[in-house]
Amino acid sequence: MQVYDLIQKTIRKEKLSDSEIQFLIRGFTENQIPDYMMSAWLMAVRCQELSPEETAAMTLAIRDSGEILDFSEIPGVTVDKHSTGGIGDKTTLMIAPIVAACGGYVPKMSGRGLGFTGGTIDKLESIPGFSVNLSRQDFYRQVQKIGCAVIAQSGNLTPADKKIYALRNLTATVDSIPLISASIMSKKLALNADCILLDVKCGSGAFMKTRESAFALAESMKSTAIAHGKKCSAVITDMNAPLGMAVGNALEVREAISILRCEIHNPLAELVIDLSGRMLALSSSDSLQKCKYNALKALRSGKALEKFAEMIAAQGGDASVTDHPEKLPHSRASKILIADRSGYLASVHSEEVGLACLELGAGRTSANSQIDPGAGVIFLHQIGDEIRKNDILCEIHANSEALCEQAEKRLRAAIQITEMSVPERQLIDSVI
């Protein structure tokens, strides 16, 4: 079997067999296929795509390059949630304890932020003492005992994906739907939960900018999951504006705690209940309506907040932050952004907000960058709200006034106020 021949087949849009794809993935992972040849095949895939069968085979080959977790001792159905990422996406912080409070089991591996999108792991690490690095046995035990655990991706899971993604990042092949699908789903299948809910973000602050590309990715990932015996559903959600009111690690944890304490009710809270209900419905025989009701009940009763505190304590964190969020990190400087005219908040360009938060120190420009856990932005209004001149639009937090002033220019340009009223934002676009 020659790599050159497989590159030619993909260029001609001839299907590769499962064994041919396994040969490519195994050979590259074991350093038997050089970077330049794998780059050529990835570019062929980027230009000509893969069939659903080829995508499923690639996913399985990447999954099988490393360890596969085993939750067979968990006395129930395990359910995972994957979001394709965006600005202010803190849903995992609330969904995991809500589902666990309803009797579900949520083993979750999350990533760190890189670039203008935040990472769940960075948010959790802003909680004093919280450890995202658990041994496999401790991970299993916590899920079994508490119902949820959120840890960093580590160990020998999908080593092929790490190598392939590094190469894609250098060869302009990141935005290939089959390659994105195989990368995401290989990790989901290695985690090996029984059910998977996919939250595919769409809009200016998401990787998939259009509905068409978001649908294509959701369909590809869902079909791959089902082909490998997983129950799976997908939702397309809006990321044309930041998700929630806070963007920045500790600020987002604070907002999540406020929602879990039922202190605020906004579109993010509604999305969290919807997604939690869908995860419960996937992992049980109850109707979606009943599962959403149970999720809301867990939130209002305080059981979800208790479960979040329990998870924090189990992972070495200071659980008292759920009662005293002021213990979370703070930045040294802050600044308010004032509306220069009256009207209605029509849009907030989420990618620009993400880039502003990157300037403030809330994100990373490289894998080794240090972040300021207290940096970020808190918005005081939602899309559709009436704004009066001199109202405070947002609070800017950083470790210096200079950083606040630098981000202010970008944030002002990202916020659009119009004379005409606009409809309230609907976060769920479609369900697949």
Provide the 10 A C-beta neighbour count for residue 361: 23
C-alpha 50, offset from chain centre: 25
Catalytic residues: 82, 161, 168, 183, 187
CA angle 237, 301, 75 (to 5 degrees): 75
Residue 341 to residue 326: CA distance in whole angstroms: 33
Nearest to 244 by CA among 358, 361, 410, 378: 378
Q: Which two tokens stand for residue 107?
A: 């083993």
Contact 291, 357 (CB under 8 A): no
CA angle 387, 389, 392 (to 5 degrees): 70
Strand order in the sheet with 333-338: 246-247, 376-379, 392-398, 333-338
Residue 338 to residue 391: CA distance in whole angstroms: 6
For strands 343-348 and 333-338, give the pairing: unpaired
Residue 228 to residue 240: CA distance in whole angstroms: 32
Q: What single-letter amino acid sits at 94?
A: M
Contact 64, 266 (CB under 8 A): no
Element (H, E) at 251: helix 249-260
Contact 248, 358 (CB under 8 A): no
Q: How many helices (H) and strands (E) does the chain have?
A: 16, 13
The length of the chain is 432
Residue 323 to residue 258: CA distance in whole angstroms: 10
Rounded (10°) CA dihedral 73, 139, 207, 362: 160
What does the radius of gyration of the chain's CA atoms come to, in whole angstroms?
Answer: 22
Contact 140, 148 (CB under 8 A): no
Strand order in the sheet with 343-348: 386-387, 343-348, 415-418
Identify the residue whose tokens are 């035990």. Answer: 141
